[in-house]
Amino acid sequence: MKNTIIALSILAALAFTQCTNNAPAADTDATAAPTEETLTQRGEYLVGILGCHDCHSPKKMGPQGPELIPELMLSGYPADRPFGKVNKEALAEGWALFNGDLTAGVGPWGATFAANITSDASGIGEWSLEQFTRALTQGKAKGMEDGRPLLPPMPWFNYTNMKPEDIEAIYTYLQSTKPVRNVVPAPIGPEAL
């Protein structure tokens, strides 16, 4: 009986050792910090699927409709573009309107212009990750704690629960973009339309 107990104990120990030796190795890549290249690629992907280009990238009309202007990508409403006349009758009827390339919007809040989010100093090039996070998740202009609220059509409220690693990826990508000097106009209040 004593030999049987010893033999079973040895078999149990061998079985345990065998099971732990054949266990898959821990995925060290999953716990390792992502590289800047990985963050940049993920950020570019997120910027694409979140529709950031829809408003922040000037466009030209092509044979299939609006096309991004590569050298102006993510630079916001062009500062040298005249704003034009607003259809006040449509606004009075409750409409919100966009200009032809979607970089400016008009509604009950007044007129707003898509921000330059390139790596230039006139964009977000000098912003910290903390500022970017605050702008994206709290709707604060320039990511400042005392900044005015971001106005429509910026859908910052959709991003309030965005994962910090996704925000960091977007930030890293935007910081890697070609800097485009473009000081976007300030919003225009509804009374000035």
Q: What is the mean pLDDT of the chain?
A: 88
CA distance 15 to 37: 43
Lowest mean pLDDT among 11-20, 53-62, 110-119, 122-131: 11-20
Q: For residue range 75-91, list pLDDT tens digits in order.
A: 999 999 999 899 999 99
User: CA-CA-CA-CA torsion for 110, 126, 128, 169, nearest 10 degrees?
Assistant: 90
Of the pLDDT bands very low, low, confident and very high (cuts 50, 70, 90), residue 29 is low
Tell me, what's the pLDDT at 192?
Answer: 93
At residue 61, the 3 state secondary structure works out as strand
Tell me, what's the pLDDT at 33?
Answer: 87
CA distance 111 to 117: 19
Record the pTM.
Answer: 0.81
The H-or-E segment that residue 97 falls in is strand 97-98
Q: Measuring CA to CA, which residue among 83, 39, 48, 84 is closest to residue 68?
A: 48
CA distance 57 to 154: 14
Tell me, what's the pLDDT at 49?
Answer: 97
Q: Where are the alpha helices (DSSP H) in the chain?
A: 2-22, 28-31, 36-49, 52-56, 88-92, 129-138, 164-176
CA distance 5 to 139: 69
At residue 3, the 3 state secondary structure works out as helix
Q: For residue range 100-158, list pLDDT tens digits in order.
A: 999 999 999 999 999 999 999 999 999 999 999 999 999 999 999 999 999 999 999 99
Tell me, what's the pLDDT at 69?
Answer: 97
Do the beta carbons of residue 117 and residue 76 sit within 8 Å? yes
* Rounded mean pLDDT, 53-81: 96
